[in-house]
């Protein structure tokens, strides 16, 4: 089976599919587009050739135009809406004691899975710690890791202010996970060159998707650091062998609303 098929009645030979192909494997210079001989293996399955064709003339062996979500351009945000949306994102550190329905979390994770990934490898996998009781148990391992760090790597522990976190936690304040009902991890194979950046980007997308569902989130750096280094926590999490978590996000219904957007440092820009 050919990698691409062209509906010759629809194709207007505009060459857009070839111009947009990231690996330049489509030749549209002579007649209808075709895959350059012997170049099939360079396809990264990004679907751009199908998605960009104005006349829906091109199908890929793994994807037809009907498989793609339609774009309602009127629903896309204007620059000022996007500015407000992005500036309005806040790290949320106080949550209602209310679980988020599983299908909502699934929907948000699916949205975040559309984030870019190096070479379209899509290496990101997700692990949801849904039950608060389980999360509290896992936090016990994080605190054990912090105590080990304080003893064995005092300089690093000092830089990370781990003594404060442990003392606060043991005094009953959940500095680690801020009472979040859920924690979501983005993890990937540590041998895949794109895992770390892809997980970070996908988790960023997940955080951005939360407010439109009435939810909020906060990166959970301490928890994630412990997942990298503390075998008992790794064993309790049971992520696939060779996978590391590259981002942890608290997720829940915010207890409070923000009314103002705090300023940030002026962007340092060169070249403009």
Ligand X SMILES: Cc1cc2nc3c(=O)[nH]c(=O)nc-3n(C[C@H](O)[C@H](O)[C@H](O)COP(=O)(O)O)c2cc1C
What are the residue ranges of helices labelled H in the chain? 16-20, 48-52, 79-87, 102-112, 132-152, 154-159, 162-170, 195-209, 221-229, 231-237
| Window 44-83: contact mask with ligand X (x via CB under 6 A) | ----------------------------------------
Q: And the tokens for 162?
A: 């781990």
- In DSSP terms, which residues pair with 91 in a beta bridge? 217
> Should residue 90 be labelled a site residue for ligand X when binding is judged by CB under 6 A?
yes
Tell me how many residues contact ligand X (CB under 6 A): 8
> Is 165 an interacting residue with respect to ligand X (CB under 6 A)?
no
Per CB under 6 A, the segment of 9-17, 125-133, 140-148, 213-221 that binds ligand X is 213-221
Q: CA-CA-CA-CA torsion for 191, 194, 200, 203, nearest 10 degrees? A: -100
**Closer Cβ to ligand X, 36 or 208, answer by number:** 208
List the one residue out of 80, 33, 85, 88 whose CA is nearest residue 55: 33
* Strand 216-219 versus strand 58-60 pairing type: unpaired
Which listed range, 10-18, 111-119, 156-164, 214-222, lies at the site for ligand X (CB under 6 A)? Answer: 214-222
Does residue number 219 form part of the binding site for ligand X (CB under 6 A)? yes
Scanning 85-93, 143-151, 154-162, 191-199 for contacts with ligand X by CB under 6 A, the matching segment is 85-93
Which residue of 28, 146, 220, 251 would you call a contact of ligand X, by CB under 6 A?
A: 220
Candidates 64, 81, 88, 91; binder of ligand X (CB under 6 A) is: 91
Angle at which helices 195-209 and 102-112 cross, to 10°: 130
Interacting residue ranges for ligand X, rule: CB under 6 A: 90-91, 93, 218-222
């Amino acid at each position: 089976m050919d990698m691409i098929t062209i509906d010759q009645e629809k194709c207007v030979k505009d060459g857009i599919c070839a111009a947009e192909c990231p690996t330049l494997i489509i030749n549209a210079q002579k007649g209808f587009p075709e895959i350059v001989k012997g170049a099939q293996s360079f396809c990264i399955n990004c679907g751009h050739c199908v998605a960009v064709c104005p006349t829906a003339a091109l199908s890929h062996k793994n994807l037809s135009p009907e498989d793609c979500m339609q774009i309602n351009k009127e629903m896309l945000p204007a620059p000022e809406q996007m500015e407000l949306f992005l500036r309005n994102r806040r790290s949320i550190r106080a949550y209602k004691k209310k679980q988020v329905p599983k299908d909502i979390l699934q929907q948000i994770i699916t949205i975040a899975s559309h984030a870019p990934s190096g070479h379209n490898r899509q290496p990101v996998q997700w692990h949801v710690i849904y039950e608060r009781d389980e999360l509290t148990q896992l936090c016990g391992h994080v605190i054990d890791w912090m105590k080990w760090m304080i003893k064995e790597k005092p300089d690093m522990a000092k830089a990370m202010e781990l003594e404060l976190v442990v003392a606060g936690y043991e005094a009953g304040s959940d500095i680690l996970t801020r009472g979040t009902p859920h924690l979501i991890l983005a993890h990937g194979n540590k041998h895949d060159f794109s895992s770390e950046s892809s997980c970070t980007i996908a988790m960023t997308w997940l955080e951005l998707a939360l407010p439109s569902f009435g939810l909020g989130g906060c990166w959970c750096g301490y928890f994630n650091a412990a997942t990298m280094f503390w075998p008992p926590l790794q064993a309790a999490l049971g992520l696939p062998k060779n996978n590391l978590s590259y981002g942890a996000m608290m997720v829940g219904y915010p207890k409070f609303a923000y009314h103002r957007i705090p300023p940030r440092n002026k962007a340092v820009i060169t070249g403009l």
